Structure 1
Amino acid sequence: METIVTSTPILSKVPPTVTRSAYPTIAQSWGVLGWFLLLSLLVGIPTYLVLDKLLHVGKQTNAAILSVLINVALMLVLRRKAGRQWARIQWKGQAKPWIYAALPILVITYGIVASTLVELFHLPNWMETTFRDLVKQPLLALFLFCVSAPLLEELIFRGVMLTGLLRNYRPWVAISQSALLFGLMHMNPAQIVGAGLIGLLFGWLYYRTRSLSLCIVAHMFNNLLAFLAMTDAKLSKRETMREIFGTDLLFGLALLISVLLVVLIVWQIHKRTQTYEGLSVPAAV
């Protein structure tokens, strides 16, 4: 007699993997802007009064301390808000040495192109006097512009915000959203467009390499150029890229060469790196 064996599916005791969104979503990223404004009031005003009225700290030092404290407070709030949705920050990624070597050229040429675009809007610079006063204390300004701001801002906007957005949305949506908020959080019309354009470059670099360290170095170099321009007596008096290069011919050549170099370097980075698309954060079960 032939025995008929029927197979039945074996139920696995391992629960299925459930995915959930990382922090932040687009809605939550707008909340980051709200937290920044709120902390500017809750942390900024009391700290300013203590430093100014009780400790008699100079305005420049006061402004530097406030900038650091507000960004640190924002980072702590975001970590708490994210909770178990926190996406691990990528520090090294796949940034090769040749990308670091090309970074100064990319930042300089992209800066020329971005500055030319910003000049078309003729936006007011509400922070010009503050910046000019700050560079009168060069060591303090150098620390603020080239150390604390690049480190803390990249942690917030690329390390936390863009990392989460890239897991939730298409790359161009995530990069554009993080760049928009990066510009808006500078709270200065002349910087909103410029910082937004720089944010697009930093965001794309992070998307291609997943290297926060690369973005921090690029940010430091970009701010170092701005710092050197503000401390140079001749450059600080020239308001447009045309005035910096002196003639229309030199400016036109510099702009053309800058565009070509930006396209070339970006294309090479695009060809030689791989993206990390399709990542999701496993839900707790």
Structure 2
Amino acid sequence: MKFYKKRGCNMESQARESKFELSVLGAVWTIILYELIISALIWGPFSEIYDSISFGNMENTKEIIGILGNIILRIIIVILVVKKAKKISDNNFRINYLGKLNYKLLLSVILLMIGYYFWYQSSIGVITDKIPLPEFLEEVFKDMELHPYSAIFSIAVIAPIYEEIFMRGIILAGLLNRYNPKKAIIISALIFGISHFNVVQSVNAIVIGLILGMIYYKTNSLILCIAVHMTNNIFAMIMEGAKEYMGYSSNIISFLAGVIIFIGSALLFFRYLRESDENLKADKLYKKRRDLDEDTGKIKI
């Protein structure tokens, strides 16, 4: 009888895992589907009306309206996709925002990403920068020049939050539930890279996806991943300005500096991670001892 009960529990557990795996695949498809439908029904008509309206000397107001419209669109898509993931997973799905978040880990991952930028741009980036950008991306950059404020806000804030909720908060979380960590992180990084639809950005996005995947797996903190993503995008914009106005160019010094910063901050990250785990164990032990004292020698569960 016990054997059948145990076997039944295992089969039920496997069924839950299988359903959650469907939520990962469903999330990818749902993101694409909702992006197309909502963009066609809401953002498309809104953009036409938005572009046709003249604000005279109040162009900044027009950009603010555009930013708010973009935020509302993203919020709608996030809500719909998360609801879909919960429905497919029998409401077992939830996004982990905080995890092992603390200021030491935050500082280390920010430095990690700055080091990565210098390392990448002074090595692989030298090669990828020579690849011509697709026409659609050049059009995007031209539009960004016409609306600089909305472009900066979108790149620095909206994109990191929006992409991390899906790529790490839903897709990677689901893959980790089903596959071993290495496989899950690699698959999610490939999805993240391919989603950029161009070689130049995809190569960089895959490497960043591996870093973000490792951070999420070790900390279970979506906030840390968002902070890293924001750091990358903001620092990239700053360095692009340095290239254009100050004539900065990558060299062997920036490469070595990037490697040193990257390795040093990675060592700090794992050190602070161990400290966080030790503090967590100490807190659990303290709570158990306290419960022993309060319950005359019996641990409360």
State the TM-score, normalized to the length of structure 1: 0.73
Local SS of the residue matching 2:150:
helix
Partner residue, 1:35 = 30
Partner residue, 1:278 = none
**Residues 245 and 119 of structure 1: CA distance in aligned 2, closer, same or farther (over 3 Å):** closer
Which amino acid is the alignment partner of residue 69 of structure 1? L
- Residue 199, structure 1, aligned to residue 205, structure 2: no
Instruction: Please report how far the alpha carbon of residue 47 of structure 1 lies from its aligned counterpart in structure 2 after TM superposition.
Output: 3.6
- Residue 253, structure 1, aligned to residue 273, structure 2: no
Partner residue, 2:133 = 125
**Residues 244 and 147 of structure 1: CA distance in aligned 2, closer, same or farther (over 3 Å):** same
Instruction: Please report how far the alpha carbon of residue 202 of structure 1 lies from its aligned counterpart in structure 2 after TM superposition.
Output: 1.0
- Residue 100, structure 1, aligned to residue 96, structure 2: no
Contact 1:183 1:195 in 2 (8 A): yes
Instruction: Please report how far the alpha carbon of residue 175 of structure 1 lies from its aligned counterpart in structure 2 after TM superposition.
Output: 0.8
Partner residue, 1:235 = 243
Which amino acid is the alignment partner of residue 139 of structure 1? Y
Contact 1:146 1:224 in 2 (8 A): yes
Counterpart CA distance in 1 for 2:71 and 2:142 is: 16
Any residues of structure 2 matched to 1:80-229 within 5 Å, and which?
80-83=84-87, 84=90, 86-115=92-121, 116-121=123-128, 122-126=130-134, 127-229=137-239
Q: Which 10-residue stretch deviates more, 73-82 or 205-214?
A: 73-82
Which amino acid is the alignment partner of residue 260 of structure 1? I
Q: Which 10-residue stretch deviates more, 175-184 or 88-97?
A: 88-97
Which amino acid is the alignment partner of residue 99 of structure 1? L
* Fraction of identical pairs, as percent: 26
- Residue 69, structure 1, aligned to residue 73, structure 2: yes
Counterpart CA distance in 1 for 2:146 and 2:49 is: 23
**Residues 49 and 169 of structure 1: CA distance in aligned 2, closer, same or farther (over 3 Å):** closer
**Residues 254 and 264 of structure 1: CA distance in aligned 2, closer, same or farther (over 3 Å):** same
Instruction: Please report how far the alpha carbon of residue 222 of structure 1 lies from its aligned counterpart in structure 2 after TM superposition.
Output: 1.2
Counterpart CA distance in 2 for 1:64 and 1:187 is: 26
Which amino acid is the alignment partner of residue 263 of structure 2? L
Local SS of the residue matching 1:94:
coil
Q: Which 10-residue stretch deviates more, 216-225 or 258-267?
A: 258-267
* Higher RCO structure (Cα 8 Å, ≥6 apart): 1
The runs of 5 or more residues in structure 1 that have no matched partner are 1-7, 275-285
Contact 2:193 2:206 in 1 (8 A): yes
Which structure dedicates a bigger proportion of its chain to helix? 2
Local SS of the residue matching 2:94:
coil
Local SS of the residue matching 1:56:
helix
Instruction: Please report how far the alpha carbon of residue 123 of structure 1 lies from its aligned counterpart in structure 2 after TM superposition.
Output: 3.6
- Cα RMSD of the aligned pairs, angstroms, is 3.5
Counterpart CA distance in 2 for 1:71 and 1:117 is: 35
**Residues 256 and 205 of structure 1: CA distance in aligned 2, closer, same or farther (over 3 Å):** closer
**Residues 125 and 33 of structure 1: CA distance in aligned 2, closer, same or farther (over 3 Å):** farther
Contact 2:20 2:93 in 1 (8 A): no
Counterpart CA distance in 2 for 1:68 and 1:181 is: 25
Local SS of the residue matching 1:146:
helix
**Residues 207 and 272 of structure 1: CA distance in aligned 2, closer, same or farther (over 3 Å):** farther
Q: Deviations over 1:18-56 (max 9, x none)?
A: 31216653x764554443443343222344541343343
Partner residue, 2:299 = none
